[in-house]
Structure 1
């Protein structure tokens, strides 16, 4: 989940910046959960490494801790061309859905 206190501290409490970051996240990672699941199912470890690395960075800036930890584990394993734990993949997929809902709720409240 997004930790809005951390996010606001990173973004100087600027709602316009937060909105822009959320819009960029949705443009770049709207299909992030599906992509992770598909890459895992296809055993495409090199692409899963890149995706995990990218998501890890943006979610860390959202103050999200648990999914970032799982993504870090996935990143480390796939860097060595290994198969990550299915439970870690499932956790990240579910957490991305939760984060997308939080973003949708936040952007909806801005309208």
Structure 2
């Protein structure tokens, strides 16, 4: 879940910048949950490593702690070509869907 206080502190409380960052996230990662599931199904650990690494940093900057921690675990395992834990994958997928909803709600209220 996004911690908007953390996000605001990173973005100097600039609502315009926050909106741009959130829109960019949606453009890049709106299908992130589906992508992760597909990569797991295909056992494409090298691509899952890249995706987990990217999302981990972005979500941490949004003040999201739990999914970022799970992504760090997934990143570590897939870096070595090992399969991630299914519970971690499912947690991240659920959290990405919650975050997507938060972003869409924030952007709708900002317009």
Q: TM-score, normalised by structure 1?
A: 0.99
Deviations, residues 47-101 of structure 1 (Å, cap 9, x unaligned):
0000000101110110000000000000000000000000000000000000000
1:1-111 to structure 2, matched below 5 A, reads: 1-111=1-111
| Structure 2: 5+ residue stretches without partners | none
| C-alpha RMSD of matched pairs (Å) | 0.4
State the alpha-carbon separation in 2 of the partners of residues 74 and 32 from structure 1: 14
State the 4+ residue runs in structure 1 displaced beyond 4 angstroms.
Answer: none
Structure 1 gaps of 5+ residues are none
State the aligned residue count. 111
Measured after TM superposition, the shift of residue 110 of structure 1 is 0.9
Q: TM-score, structure 2 length as denominator?
A: 0.99
Distance in 2, matches of 1:44 and 1:80, equals 12
- Secondary structure (helix, strand or coil) at the match of 2:76 reads helix
